[in-house]
């Protein structure tokens, strides 16, 4: 998977409850009191206006003008007795902005880090004004991203294909090599499908409805499993695991490649794998033994371990560089052709003299 496109609000970040903050800001700045319900109605009116006009915030000047219009909409929605005391629109705008604070979901930074470590390019594509760049920087996510594209910058909104196509260009990826992750069935799921991209629907706390035939996750922690399964191909048995297949820790880090399988095929016992790593000293330099119970899954193009990087770092070296499919006695790795013949004929590999194999 070369690239993942990501929605922002509801996927990466959430808006902290703004009504209590607005109530406090109005009291502190203007000495006026409103109920939380009145503040909530005013915020709802502002959000409705903003969603209809967010694409107008294309640069600093147009963004400032948009924010003033949003503040005026909010002021108009407050009770008349309060509205009459809010005469300074700039100050009202500042109160509004101070009430809108975003935070990242706890699972986002670790999830994005794991995906980046895997080599996946990450681009945010969101219906937002240009201030999204500052929002993501403020919550600490910007350094984890390869690009941020807003509808105000793109001149198109999700679910229009154009904004997805621009995001793919930013990610240097084809639609077939990307996923789009978001929480809206219309903007994210339908939009991605319209651009030829496979969607993944985010349902935090299992809110909203699932979409038939669309993968669903409740946090970005689950996204790694999807990417791994797509990158690594179908699940396989140990008998057909190829040498050189990448091995990943439970953190999603590439920790080595398969050197060979250690098993007793006659008894159908899988002992584990010997893994090649990039460093080491001694006769088994660069090799580590991974026991079967430390392996989460085997795939055509990847092995997922059930252990993290720290545990991988202290794995033991293989004793005697145990050859693949060793049965009872030491020997060399059998050829795949002879192994296939044994499987088809029902011959016991334990009776073969593997020392004769090349």
| All residues at 6 or more sequence positions from 79 whose CB lies less than 8 Å from its CB, including other chains | 34, 38
Q: What is the pLDDT of residue 348?
A: 56
- Give 272-275's long-range contacts (Cβ < 8 A, gap of 24+): 273/241, 273/247, 273/303, 274/318, 274/321, 274/322, 274/324, 275/247, 275/315
pLDDT for 346? 64
**Stronger pLDDT, 259 or 251, i.e. the higher one:** 259
Confidence of residue 27 (pLDDT cuts 50, 70, 90): very high
Tell me: pLDDT of 328 over 60: no
347 pLDDT more than 50: yes
- Residues near 354 by Cβ (< 8 Å), separated by ≥ 6? 323, 326, 327, 329, 331, 332, 333, 334
> What torsion do the CA atoms of 192, 7, 203, 179 make, to the nearest 10 degrees?
40
Dihedral pair phi/psi, residue 323, rounded to 5°:
-75, 160
Residue 332 has pLDDT above 50, yes or no: no
Residue 260 and residue 275 in contact, taking contact as beta carbons nearer than 8 Å: no
Domain boundaries in the chain? 3-10+104-230, 17-100, 238-356
What pLDDT score does 197 carry?
A: 96
pLDDT digits (tens, 9 = 90+) for 148-198: 999 999 999 999 999 999 999 999 999 988 999 999 999 999 999 999 999
CB atoms under 10 Å from CB of 207, counted, come to: 10
Query: Could you tell me which residue, 358 or 164, shows the higher pLDDT?
Result: 164
For the stretch 205-244, pLDDT in tens is: 877 778 889 999 999 999 988 887 777 677 889 999 999 9
State the pLDDT at residue 335: 53
Residue-level pLDDT at 322: 43
* Residue 44: predicted pLDDT: 98
- CA–CA distance, 175 with 148 (Å, rounded to integer): 17
Domain 238-356 CATH assignment equals 2.30.30.240: yes
β-strand partners of 199: 180
Asked if the domains at 3-10+104-230 and 238-356 fall in one CATH topology, the answer is no
* Residue 320 Rama label (left phi>0; alpha psi -120 to 50; beta): left
Judge contact between 184 and 160, C-beta under 8 A.
Answer: no
The arithmetic mean of pLDDT across residues 306-332, rounded, is 66
Query: Phi and psi dihedrals of 290, rounded to 5?
Result: -115, 115
Q: 3-10+104-230 has which fold?
A: Rossmann fold (3.40.50)
Written as six digits, the tokens of 305 are: 């371990």
């Amino acid at each position: 998977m070369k690239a993942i496109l990501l929605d922002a609000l509801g996927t990466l970040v959430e808006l902290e409850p703004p009504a209590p903050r607005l109530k406090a800001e109005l009291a502190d700045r203007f000495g006026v009191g409103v109920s939380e319900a009145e503040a909530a109605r005013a915020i709802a009116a502002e959000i409705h206006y903003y969603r209809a006009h967010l694409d107008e915030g294309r640069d600093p000047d147009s963004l400032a003008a948009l924010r003033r219009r949003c503040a005026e909409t909010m002021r108009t929605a407050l009770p008349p007795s309060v509205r009459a005391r809010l005469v300074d629109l700039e100050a009202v705008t500042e109160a509004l902005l101070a009430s809108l604070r975003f935070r990242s979901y706890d699972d986002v930074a670790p999830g994005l880090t794991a995906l980046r470590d895997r080599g996946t390019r990450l681009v945010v594509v969101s219906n937002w004004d240009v201030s999204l760049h500052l929002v993501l920087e403020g919550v600490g996510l910007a350094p984890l991203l390869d690009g941020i594209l807003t509808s105000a910058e793109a001149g198109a909104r999700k679910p229009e294909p154009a904004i997805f196509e621009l995001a793919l260009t930013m990610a240097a990826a084809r639609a077939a090599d990307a996923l789009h992750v978001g929480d809206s069935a219309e903007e994210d799921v339908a939009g991605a499908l319209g651009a030829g991209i496979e969607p993944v629907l985010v349902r935090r706390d299992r809110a909203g409805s699932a979409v038939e035939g669309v993968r669903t996750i409740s946090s970005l922690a689950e996204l790694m499993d999807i990417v791994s399964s797509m990158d690594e191909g179908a699940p396989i048995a140990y008998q057909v695991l190829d040498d050189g297949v990448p091995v990943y820790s439970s953190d999603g880090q590439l920790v080595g490649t398969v050197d060979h399988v250690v098993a007793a095929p006659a008894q159908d016992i899988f002992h584990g794998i010997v893994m090649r790593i990039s460093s080491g000293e001694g006769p088994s330099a660069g090799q580590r033994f991974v026991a079967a119970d430390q392996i989460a899954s085997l795939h055509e193009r990847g092995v997922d371990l059930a252990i993290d990087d720290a545990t991988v770092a202290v794995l033991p070296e293989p004793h005697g560089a145990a050859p693949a499919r060793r049965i009872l006695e030491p020997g060399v790795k059998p050829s795949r052709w002879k192994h296939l013949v044994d499987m088809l004929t029902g011959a016991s590999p334990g009776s073969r003299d593997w020392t004769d194999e090349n």
